[in-house]
Amino acid sequence: MILKASQRSGAAQLGQHLLNSRDNEHVEVHEVRGFMSENVMGAMKEAEAMAKGTRCKQYLFSVSLNPPETENVAIEVFEGALASIEEKLGLQGQPRMVVFHEKEGRRHAHAVWSRIDAETMTAKQLSFFKSKLREVSKQLYLENGWKMPSGLMDSKARDPRNFTLDEWQQAKRAGLDAKSVKGIAQECWAVSDNAQTFAHALEERGLYLAKGDRRSHVAVTYEGEVFALSRLIGVKTKDVTARLGKADSLRSVEETKAHIANAIAPRLDGFLKEAKRMARDALKPLAEKKKELQLAHAEERQRMAKGQRERWQCETKERASRLRTGVRGLWDRLTGDHAKMIKKNEFEAYHALRRDRDQRQAMLNAQHAERRKLQEQIKQTRERHARQILSLHNQAANYRLMRDGNQQSIRSEFSRSAGQAREQSRSAPTRGLELGR
């Protein structure tokens, strides 16, 4: 599984993220260990209070554990991964909390450790933690027989479209798919050899070349979000300048936004509103199905948890009743029957725990399979409408090369593509999906 980690502060903010049920379909607090509090927010406050007795600013160590998209991963695999991380980084015995998130048919975990050693009141040193976690990640792929990503085998082969959190949030606000923004910019960079061809290629895809506040090149979306160009295409700033020249001759961000508002937006607004309305209509039944699944799955989990809890209590009472008291209990201790019964009870309790875990994992696997089917329909619907919107941006970029009399051809083309999209929406299955990205 892919392991992403950071040293950080901001306990309250991180706690809210871990418990965020708005962006996640299911949130499960798996463990809160080593804290006086038994809940996440209380544990976060304890970690922050402990850090105030030291000079440590980044007193938390946060790791996300992301298994392959199509794999059903048991709790034991996550727990084994956490144990390997602690051994590799020297975090054994440190207070920690573990939370599971589920979204779009995928399950991943977040683990947060307090770096503060309560005995010495010093922070655990986590030197080279990224390279150490990379080794743990490789080992997990090998142990579980998963197909290892090429970027994990060779760092030079990493997907250059991986977003930072800030970039992902920018893309989300702009209504774009996170990886597609970098993919679009990198595609334009690959087919362009100067600023003019690069700017035109970007504009055909709904991005606009501009000068940033620091006199560097940036890309501005139709919605006004700004991305640093060097980070989008994965090259150094000096290499961008070498190919495109200095950014001084370009419009500023504010001028670019004004240009979009005055020249591009009027041509696009009507078409884009219609395209987005069609997308919402196509996704609405899928969003409703997604909500139904979420509620049904949550109810099924609660029902199983309640049943297992009641069964565990009954079995515990039964095991306890086997241990005789009084004179008979004393006799059992003298003959060794008491010790034998304790071992038998421990054996049965362990297998009962394994049975409950296996039952829960089987239920989760079935739910994830059902949710992934729905997510595939969602993905296909999104991609279909995204292609239509990209086509509109392309038409708008070429619009200024045409005379006003040719505007009708754009409307005709849009009407034709819109009709095709309606036919595809009618023929597409009406199970599952959400509007939010």
Mean of pLDDT over the chain:
81
Q: Residue 60, Cβ neighbours under 10 Å: how many?
A: 23
401 pLDDT band, cuts 50/70/90, is very low
435 pLDDT band, cuts 50/70/90, is very low
Residue 406 has pLDDT above 50, yes or no: no
Q: Residue 115, Cβ neighbours under 10 Å: how many?
A: 24
What is the average per-residue pLDDT within 112-122? 92
Which residue pairs from 345-351 have beta carbons closer than 8 angstroms and sit at least 24 positions apart in sequence?
A: 345/319, 345/320, 348/315, 348/319, 349/315, 349/316, 349/319
Question: H/E element holding 384?
Answer: helix 337-399
Query: Of residues 407 and 89, which shows the higher confidence score?
Result: 89
Contact between residue 14 and residue 112 where contact means Cβ atoms under 8 Å apart: yes
**Report field, pTM of the whole predicted structure over 0.95:** no
pLDDT per residue over 134-170, tens digit each? Answer: 999 999 988 888 887 766 655 544 444 455 555 555 5
Copy the structure tokens of residue 223: 């919605």
Look up residue 405 and give its DSSP letter.
G
